[in-house]
Amino acid sequence: MDASDQSAAQQCAAAKAAAPALARASRELKDAALMELAESLERRSAEILAANALDLAAGEEAGLSDALLDRLRLDRSRISAIADGAREVARLDDPVGELLEERELDNGLHLQVLRAALGVVAVVYEARPNVTIDAAGLCIKSGNACVLRGSATAERTNAVLASVARDAVVAAGLPAAAVTLVGGGREQLAELATQKGIVDLIIPRGGEGLKAALEAVATVPVLYAASGNCHVYVDRSADLADAVAIAVNSKVQRPGVCNAAETLLVHRDVAASFIPLVARELLAAGVELRVDEAVRGFAGPELAGQLVDAVEADWETEFLDLIMAVRVVDSLEQAIEHIALYGSGHSEAIVTADEAAADEFRHGVDAACIYVNASTRFTDGAVFGMGSEIGISTQKLHARGPIGLRELCTIKYVVTGDGHVRA
């Protein structure tokens, strides 16, 4: 039970042995585990906070930034929010066993396509200890054993949280190894990432460094939660008041997340009226604007002193900050080309009153989420009605967009005959 007694490979093998019981667990059993998890998080909050205080003290001593310490910090209200998240997952439909297709084949065979658990899902994450519970909850509900590998800085907090989750699954009659926490070292990461045939999927939640570390070693399939270089394109026919609101919301409402917009593209025909309007609003919201020459011209002399000249790298950058690149384009086609060249395939918005332009954008832009007359900030599993998610995927295979319960599953063809043989 104690992570330190076993290698990561041994722990993964134990998770694999636990996987069939999870894959076949009823909805009632899984929801009971989730509700018990929520209750005991609140019941054991003193124990959790004591461990968290030790991690915080060690982090302060090690000189962690205030931002990192804040991510690491739990309090009673944060614990309640985590517990509510588990209750929310319990309320979601069970994806396992969902009948996706059913038909009688010409030869009389009965074919069903059923959703099925993947098996063992590993989640690798950084400072935030809430991910320990969020990831465990989604894996339990999707019928997967999970292997969790958090940050060394949250080691004590994660150990208590994982033990709460483990106790909850055991209380529901499921095997303890269904929730397995491995150590936070680089060696353990490499060991985890190479358990091909044991671990079915690894999902990293973290920055580019973590992704690069995984890409270098992983033999297990990896589902990358995405970075987002998202655009708002204001078409010649746009309602300019809507366009201002959408551009400002996409950038400012929460600039540090992947579905915030980084670049604003403006059709030349509306640039003269739109750019001064939007620039004033964005500047007032504290946004640094990195603009091309045309934008500078349209902004006029009054604003010119507050604008920064964009360089090539600005079009490629996910600022995750109150910085926005702005460019004038000559056409919808040029906007689509710009997005194809620089976008990361996450969330792309057009503001337009022209249905033909909207359709051109919907079909011509290759991204997980396309918005017409709405902010890019809506890309989110809960907002989309998919429940909690473990991140947003920009890859095209397996899962594109929010990674929720269904995306943690595979399928199975079940074919029933009556002594059928092939002629």
Task: List contacts with its own copies (CB under 8 A).
Answer: 20, 23-24, 97, 103, 105-107, 109, 111, 116, 118-119, 200-201, 221, 223, 239, 241-242, 245-246, 248-250, 253, 340, 358, 362-364, 366-375, 377-379, 383-385, 395-398, 400-401, 410-422
Distance, in Å, from the CA atom of 29 to the CA atom of 37, rounded to the nearest integer, reads 12
Of 298 and 371, nearer to its own copies (C-beta) is 371
Of 5 and 106, nearer to its own copies (C-beta) is 106
User: Closest distance between its own copies and the C-beta of residue 197, in Å?
Assistant: 10
CA 250 distance to own-chain centroid: 17
Of 60 and 359, nearer to its own copies (C-beta) is 359
210: which residues sit within 8 A by CB, 6+ positions away?
124, 126, 204
Q: Are 341 and 365 in contact (CB under 8 A)?
A: no
User: Closest distance between its own copies and the C-beta of residue 327, in Å?
Assistant: 21
- Write the CA distances from 395 to 203, 222, 262, 392, 405, integer angstroms: 12, 10, 19, 9, 17
Distance, in Å, from the CA atom of 251 to the CA atom of 257, rounded to the nearest integer, reads 10
Q: Which two tokens stand for residue 87?
A: 């209750």
User: Closest distance between its own copies and the C-beta of residue 107, in Å?
Assistant: 7
Of 304 and 411, nearer to its own copies (C-beta) is 411
Residue identified by tokens 């002399």 is 301
46: which residues sit within 8 A by CB, 6+ positions away?
none
Of 63 and 413, nearer to its own copies (C-beta) is 413
CB neighbours (10 Å) of residue 185?
12
Strands (E), 228-352: 230-234, 261-267, 288-291, 307-309, 323-329, 347-351
Q: Are 399 and 393 in contact (CB under 8 A)?
A: yes
User: Closest distance between its own copies and the C-beta of residue 109, in Å?
Assistant: 6
Phi, psi of 74 (to 5 degrees): -115, 155
User: Closest distance between its own copies and the C-beta of residue 45, in Å?
Assistant: 30
Of 79 and 260, nearer to its own copies (C-beta) is 260
User: Closest distance between its own copies and the C-beta of residue 410, in Å?
Assistant: 4
What 3-state class would DSSP assign to 146?
strand
Of 166 and 346, nearer to its own copies (C-beta) is 346
User: Closest distance between its own copies and the C-beta of residue 403, in Å?
Assistant: 12
Of 118 and 265, nearer to its own copies (C-beta) is 118
User: Closest distance between its own copies and the C-beta of residue 285, in Å?
Assistant: 13
301: which residues sit within 8 A by CB, 6+ positions away?
none
Distance, in Å, from the CA atom of 292 to the CA atom of 68, rounded to the nearest integer, reads 35
